[in-house]
Structure 1
Amino acid sequence: MTPTFSVIGLVSADLARTFAFYRRLGLDIPEEAAAQPHVEVTLPGGLRLAFDTVATIRSFDPDFVHTTGGGPSLAFDCGTPDGVDSTYADLLTVGGTSTLAPFDAFWGQRYATLTDPDGNHVDLFAALPG
């Protein structure tokens, strides 16, 4: 059998805060999900994004140390350059921290990078006109 890429997992110190951040990026996360120790959201195309509390991970890996940042980044297409700017500003209000303010990149995109409340990198982008 060939392995199939299926899930991206993130660990969160505060699921309610993390979910508020990712809801602003269009993820359909029910309000009651913050009370759960493990939550999965199915993304377009079937890939799943899983969120676990630190306590959940420590339940099977007692030596787990929660670190922030340094892992993979999640990238979101905001549709338009203005969409990058408004999404970036909105995410700053729900626990996002700026890494790169929106700018017109030489490769033809409006681009920005933030970290989510747990230090995971989130890239925002949209094609520049013409």
Structure 2
Amino acid sequence: MSPRFDAIGLVVSDMAASVAFYRRLGFVFPDGAEEQPHAEAELPGGLRLLLDGEETVRSFHPQWRPPSGGGSRTSIALLCDGPQEVDAVYEELVGAGYQGELKPWDAFWGQRYAVVHDPDGNGVDLFAPLPAAQ
């Protein structure tokens, strides 16, 4: 047996809000996903993003509780087409009312980098390689 990476799963408190957020980022969920207890979006390369409502998780794991202690629960990283797209996506999401954690900046490791939170406080890293210094 050889386990293989297949999906990224997030537990969400408001399915409609989470589906709307990830759709803004280009994730394709089926019509009506925002009304379901579980939603999936297929990612390039065959991976999937899985969203499960808190009540769904509690239906098979009654003792489950959201993580506590501050900070984001987890994060996913999204490669943008260029530094300008990092800025544009960040501004679009913050302008739509989502919480920006880290404004776009030119990171010392050679990327334009920013972080915004999804409706449950999970970090979504936006990044793109910076043009080579000339």
- In the superposition, the TM-score normalised over structure 1's length comes to 0.92
The CA distance in 2 between the partners of 1:85 and 1:70, in whole Å, is 21
Q: 1:87 aligns with which of 86, 89, 98?
A: 89
Q: Which residue of 2 is the match for residue 37 of structure 1? A: 37
- Percent identical residues: 52
The CA distance in 2 between the partners of 1:49 and 1:95, in whole Å, is 23
1:98 aligns with 2:100: yes
User: Any gaps of 5 or more consecutive residues in structure 1?
Assistant: none
Q: Answer with 109-118 or 24-33: which moved more.
A: 24-33
1:21 aligns with 2:11: no
The CA distance in 1 between the partners of 2:115 and 2:11, in whole Å, is 19
Which letter maps to 1:21?
F
Q: Which residue of 1 is the match for residue 122 of structure 2? A: 120
Q: How does 1:71-86 map to 2 (within 5 A)?
A: 71-86=73-88
The CA distance in 2 between the partners of 1:70 and 1:89, in whole Å, is 20
The answer to whether the Cα contact below 8 Å between 1:108 and 1:127 also exists between their aligned partners in 2 is yes
After TM superposition, give the deviation of residue 70 of structure 1 in Å.
Answer: 4.1
Which letter maps to 2:30?
P
Between the two proteins, the alignment pairs up a number of residues equal to: 130
The CA distance in 2 between the partners of 1:21 and 1:6, in whole Å, is 22
- In the superposition, the TM-score normalised over structure 2's length comes to 0.89
Which letter maps to 2:81?
G
After TM superposition, give the deviation of residue 71 of structure 1 in Å.
Answer: 3.8
Q: Answer with 119-128 or 68-77: which moved more.
A: 68-77
Give the CA RMSD over aligned residues. 1.5
Q: 1:67 to 1:94 in 2, by over 3 A?
A: farther
Q: 1:51 to 1:82 in 2, by over 3 A?
A: same
